[in-house]
Structure 1
C-alpha cells in the first residue's frame, strides 16, 4: 500500500503558501534544491505535475490546487494529534519562600536550571527565617515553602531530608580556646536556639559576638575570626568547613520540609518541588 510522506506534503503546502521554492526553503530552513527534490518525489509518487513554472515563479497546477486542501487537512490532523499528546509548557507566577542559608547555597544553581527549562514560569523568591515563613500571618503569601522543622514538631509538610546540624567554621582558624565565640542569626532561628540549648548544658564559656540574618554576613564574620556557627549539612557554603572538635556538643538532626500550598498553579509548584528535592537528596 502506498503512503504519502507528511514531510513532503508540508513542503508542498509551504511552497504554495510562501509563494515559491526559495521562500519555502527559508520558512522550513532547507535549501532550495532540497525543496525541489521533495516536490519531485511527491509528484513521482502521485504521478501528477503539481506545479507549473511561469517565469521565475512556481504556480500550483490544477492537480496541485486539488491536492492543497486535502494536504492541509492531513497536516492539521497530524499536528492536532501531537498537540493533544504533548503537555502544555509550564507557565504562571510562583511565590517561593526559602530559608536564608538555602537562598545563598541551593537557590542560585537551582533557579538557573529551572528557569532555563521553564522560561514561562515567573519565580518570586523571599528568603527569611523558617519560623517567619511558616507563621500563620505570612504563610498564605507563598505557594511553596522550604523550611527547617524540629524533628519532634508536627508541621504538616513533606519531609525532604533528615539532615545533620553541624558546627561550621573557617578551616584556616581552628579552635584554640575553650571559650566559644558564636556568629548566629537573630532570635527565632532554629540553629541559634539549638546551639544555645546545647551549650547551656555544657560547662564551657561561650558568647555571641555577631548576629546577622544573612548567611553571607555570617560567612564574612567567620572568615574575619569573629567566631563559629551551626548549619544544616546540606546548606554548607563551599568556603567554610565542618568543625570536628570533641569539645563541641552534638547538635542532632533537623528536618528539611516542603509545604506545597499552591492551588492556582499546582503543576508548576509540584515541578519546582521535585527540582528542590532532587537537589537536596543528591
Structure 2
C-alpha cells in the first residue's frame, strides 16, 4: 500500500512557497540534489508530475496545486493533533511577510515574546512592500503578512500609522527650491501616492528625484539633504527630522494582518493573535 511521508509533504509545501529548489533546500537543511530527488519520489508516489522547471526555478503543475492544498491541510491538522493530545508547545514553520519599515520598528517587540513562548515554531521572514506581499499571499508563498491599508478607519486595522515628510533638518534649505526634489518608493505604493496627491492638492511643484523600495536608500537620500522623503512616523531614525512646516499634511494609514488561508495553521493563527494583541501597544 502506498503511503505519503509527512516529511516529503512538508518539504513540498516549502518548495511550492519559495518556487525554488535551491531556496527550499537551504530552508530545510538539505542539498539541492537530495531535495530534487525527494520531489521526484513524491511525484512518483502520487503518480503525476507535480513540478515544472522554469528558467528562474520551479512552478506547480495542476496536479501540484491540488497536492499543495491537501498537503497544507494535512500539515496543519498534524500540528493541531500534537498540540491537542500532547500538551506540547506549537510547532511547524510560519512564513510572515512584512514591509521593511514595520520590520525595523515592530518585529523585535512582536517576535521576542512569541519565540520565547513557542520555541518549536520556525519563523521565515519576507520583507517587501505591501504591493509585493499581496501576490505572495494569493499564491500562498507566505502564510501571513502585515500590510498597509489606505483607509485608517478600516475595521481590519490593528494599528494606525501616519506618513511624515522627512529631511536632514526641521526646515531644510531645499524647501526653497522652486521644484522640490522628493525621494519616494515605487509609484503604486501608498507613500508615493500620498506624497504626490498632497503636493497636487496645494499646487506645489515637485519632481521624483529618487525612487527606491529600499528604506535604507530613502533614508540615505534624506540624510544627504538632496531630497525630502516620506516615511511612516515610526520608521524615522533619530538623526533625521520630521518636517512640519512648509509642506502639505499627509494622511494616516492602517496596518492589518492578512492570511493566505482562511483557515491558517495553529502556529500561524497563534502568531496572528499575538500580533493583534501586541502591535497596538508598541
1:153 Cα deviation (Å)? 9.8
Distance 1:87 1:171, change over 3 A: farther
1:102 matched to 2:99? The reply is no
Distance 1:110 1:136, change over 3 A: closer
1:139 Cα deviation (Å)? 4.9
Which one has a bigger Cα radius of gyration?
1
Across the aligned residues of Structure 1 and Structure 2, the Cα RMSD in angstroms comes to 3.1
**In structure 1, what is the Cα distance between the partners aligned to 2:203 and 2:145?**
38
1:84 Cα deviation (Å)? 8.2
Tell me if structure 1 keeps the 8 A contact 2:170–2:243.
no
Q: Which residue of 2 aligns with 1:268?
A: 267
SS of the aligned residue for 1:141 comes to coil
1:111 Cα deviation (Å)? 3.4
Tell me if structure 2 keeps the 8 A contact 1:105–1:236.
no
Q: Which residue of 2 aligns with 1:144?
A: 144
Q: Which residue of 1 aligns with 2:117?
A: 117
1:177 matched to 2:175? The reply is yes
**In structure 2, what is the Cα distance between the partners aligned to 1:254 and 1:84?**
39
1:91 Cα deviation (Å)? 1.1
Distance 1:172 1:86, change over 3 A: farther
Which residue among 154, 158, 161 is the counterpart of 2:159? 161
TM-score, length-normalised on structure 2? 0.60
Tell me if structure 1 keeps the 8 A contact 2:160–2:252.
yes
Tell me if structure 1 keeps the 8 A contact 2:152–2:253.
no
Q: Which runs of 5+ in 1 are unaligned?
A: 1-82
Distance 1:119 1:152, change over 3 A: closer
Q: Which residue of 1 aligns with 2:68?
A: none
Q: Which residue of 2 aligns with 1:252?
A: 251
**In structure 2, what is the Cα distance between the partners aligned to 1:126 and 1:203?**
38
Distance 1:152 1:279, change over 3 A: closer
SS of the aligned residue for 2:226 comes to coil
**In structure 2, what is the Cα distance between the partners aligned to 1:140 and 1:151?**
25
Distance 1:198 1:111, change over 3 A: same
1:131 matched to 2:154? The reply is no
TM-score, length-normalised on structure 1? 0.60
Q: Which runs of 5+ in 2 are unaligned?
A: 1-82
1:164 Cα deviation (Å)? 2.0
SS of the aligned residue for 1:199 comes to helix
